[in-house]
Amino acid sequence: MTEHMTTAHPTPPPVTVTLEAGPAGAGSIDDFELFYARRAVDRFRTLLGRQGLLDLLAADIEEGNAVLRESARTSRGAFKAGTTVLATKGLTSGAFLAWMDKAFAGDERVLLAAHPEHYVMGTDEIGARVVENIGPHVADFYMGGWGTDALDWAKDAAELLPESEFPRKMSSNLFLADGTVVGRALIQFGDTAEGFTSNLTVYFPVTCPDEVLDHHLRHYAVEFRNWIVAASTARA
């Protein structure tokens, strides 16, 4: 019997492409792609409009809400938490939150622009409505009970930070139109010598896959970074 020998081939180095010349102004190819991706998303949002987006996503929303509802049922009121921390320089938390109050009072377009997977942000007869991705699922939910005095769970949350360091806090349940609580949010801001720190905690039912939680921590990073930049630009 002849033994066949196999020769291992070395893994080729990754292909890299570097922009050497051409476009005017600063920016990488990734920067260019991000600009065009945002422009394309904004175009489709504008052309479809709110109801068009809701109609287009109806089946996805039904499926996503069903997944979250089942996770809430099997978790029996137990949640797991994750926190994204952002450091901002050149802007105070007060200035940022003042801008946020204005935006949430009626500028849906700037709220949607903060993340490609924002579809609806506004209010209806139930309350503050959000349609966005929760992990891989598109969900249609509401946020309510803002303010640390509004919800008992926030007062006892392990993630609650000292009032002296993080005086600006917001807490909320995330609930479906039928009242099912599918998550929570605890947002805390504290000023620093150079700007402010954002401590952004989200809670999901314990039976949700860990990837759902991790993706929302990334979602937080994208949307709040973009909102902070928009607030800074508005002040310029």
Helix, strand, coil tally for the chain in percent (to 5): 40, 25, 35
pLDDT at 2: 54
pLDDT in tens, 37-75: 999 999 999 999 999 999 999 999 999 999 999 999 999
Percent of the chain with pLDDT over 70: 94
Would you say 166 and 190 are in contact if contact means Cβ atoms under 8 Å apart? yes
Q: What is the chain's mean pLDDT, rounded?
A: 92
Q: Does residue 27 surpass a pLDDT of 60?
A: yes
CA-CA-CA-CA torsion for 197, 93, 183, 82, nearest 10 degrees? 0
The β-bridge partners of 202 are: 82, 185
| Euclidean distance between CA atoms 40 and 45, whole angstroms | 9
Whole-prediction pTM:
0.90
Domains in the chain with CATH codes: 29-235 (3.30.530.20)
